Amino acid sequence: MLKEVSLGLVLALSIFLAFQGINVAPLFFFGILGYVLFQVLNKQGLGSKQKFNTYGGANGSKIPGITFDDIGGQDSAKNELLEALRFVRDKEMVKGLGIRPLKGIMLSGPPGTGKTLMAKATARYIDSVFISTSGSEFIEMYAGVGAKRVRELFKKAKDQAKKANKSNAVIFIDEIEILGGKRGQNSGHLEYDQTLNQLLVELDGMSIDDDINVLVIGATNRIDILDSAILRPGRFDRVVKVDLPDKEGRNKILNIHTRNKPLASDVDLEKIARETFRFSGAHLESLANEAAIMAMREDSDMIKGKHFKEAIDKVMMGEKLNRRPKEEELKRVAYHETGHALIAEKARPGSVSTITITSRGKALGYVRHNPEDDFYLQTLDYLKGQIAVCIAGAITEEIILGNRSTGAANDFEKATKLAKKIIYSGMSELGIVSKDDLPKSKVHKEIGKIIEEEEERVHDIILSNQNLMDEVVAELLAEESIEGEDFRKKLGIKVEDVA
């Protein structure tokens, strides 16, 4: 309405001046120029206040309904966070013990592990206003815009808390590494540094005697690039590691995401948790959702074990592709994947979950492995076994089909990385080495030596199991996939021996 009135007044003034014999062309020119400039500045945040997502404030929106009970697989992170929040809830105890109040909590971990959920659960736990934003919201090409938005953010948090009659406010800044990256990296653009400086000033200005207690929660998966000033005590006092869940954690997350879904009796969530090594909480939520979608496609009123099995493959590799290789190419893929599976079972019995020649994503076929337990340290024997598994497909093609193909390119890349890990961990014949000082020629020579040793071992195993491989390939070409248990029976390995 104000815009229309202003335009009307300008038009009326122009007509009046024109009747008075005054040239109004310059007025129109500068008027249009001023309007364009105003619109540009307004878009950059200089002409109006920045909008942030606010919950539980005077606008009537509710605090996010997420509680800590809704977050599974992060017991250590939750316990550390709850301890920190106790200082916020019990202000009198904090004063009595002379404890300095927490100003900021940094949540660090891979994407999809629940950092945003934890921030929302925090707001409900301490009954506070919740304001969320992203680090990218503060950085613009005009100097001073980011600092202004930081001031607006803290002011809005306090104002909304007062209007809602709350004593606490939570500010959540996702991707805080954009806002809080190391200063001096952008030498030609000081806007980044000014914005970070303003955030540090706001954090330093907080006090336990403030009417409104503001808690800033940052989330990042690149804590290594944050400026050291932002992580020092007195600013972000706690760094909470939100890591990928272990097997027990994955089981809890699956129970949370399937509690509203009808599961058939053959669904074993503990087994699914074991098969989803290095899945994040977001992956597991997607897994449960995809399984339900697959049940719907079959008009099934229950989600069955086969739906979860298919969903795991989809989350890991992508949707099935319509393309189907020619028979000759499909036979090569079948031998390639059977070679991987054979050496995997020889290196670690019970590791193969499924062998398939169904095309998904960029893969024409694949072997899905099934880690029995999570482990984080790798021995020399384990690494050599993994190298053998990687190169087994290409060697199988060479022995049985007479030559190799480009399908092994990614396998060789993985094998090279594993060989480098052996060298840089001091487990090769070179002994303990300095990664930075070791000549590339020596590294290359040692990589070749490690891989060549495994090639000889794989070659012998495949030569002595050709009849078995022919049988497995025939079944793969007919059925497209073989379960790990059936494959082990063909090898003569009893299922109970590896359970």
Q: What is the DSSP letter of 407?
A: G
Tokens of 117: 């959920």
Token pair 């000889």: residue: 456
C-beta of residue 102 within 8 angstroms of C-beta of residue 238: yes
Q: How far apart are CA 237 and CA 94, in angstroms?
A: 15
Gap between the terminal Cα atoms of the chain: 73
Best CA proximity match to 341, nearest among 485, 456, 487: 487
- Contact yes or no for 133/246 (Cβ under 8 A): no
CA–CA separation, 156 and 167 (whole Å): 14
Instruction: Report helix, strand or coil for 245.
Output: coil
Strand 352-356: give its sheet, edge to edge: 366-369, 352-356, 481-483
In this structure, what are the phi and psi dihedrals at residue 380, rounded to the nearest 5 degrees?
-60, -45
Within its chain, how far is the Cα of 54 from the centroid? 25
Look up residue 403 and give its DSSP letter.
S
Type of residue found at 456:
E
Cβ atoms 344, 354 nearer than 8 A: no
**Active site (annotated) includes residue 452:** no
Catalytic residue among 191, 275, 285, 337: 337
Q: Is the dihedral of CA 253, 259, 264, 266 positive or negative?
A: positive
CA angle 338, 341, 344 (to 5 degrees): 150
DSSP 3-state assignment of 293?
helix
CA distance 351 to 373: 10
Residue 198 near residue 95 (C-beta atoms within 8 A): no
Can you read off the two tokens belonging to residue 106?
Answer: 């940094």
Place of tokens 């002379």: 98
- Give 339's contacts (C-beta < 8 A, 6+ positions apart): 392, 393, 395, 396, 397, 458, 462, 469
Count of H-run helices and E-run strands, the chain: 20, 9
DSSP letter at 320?
B
For the four alpha carbons of 287, 293, 297 and 298, in that order, the dihedral sign comes to positive
> Which residues form the catalytic set?
337
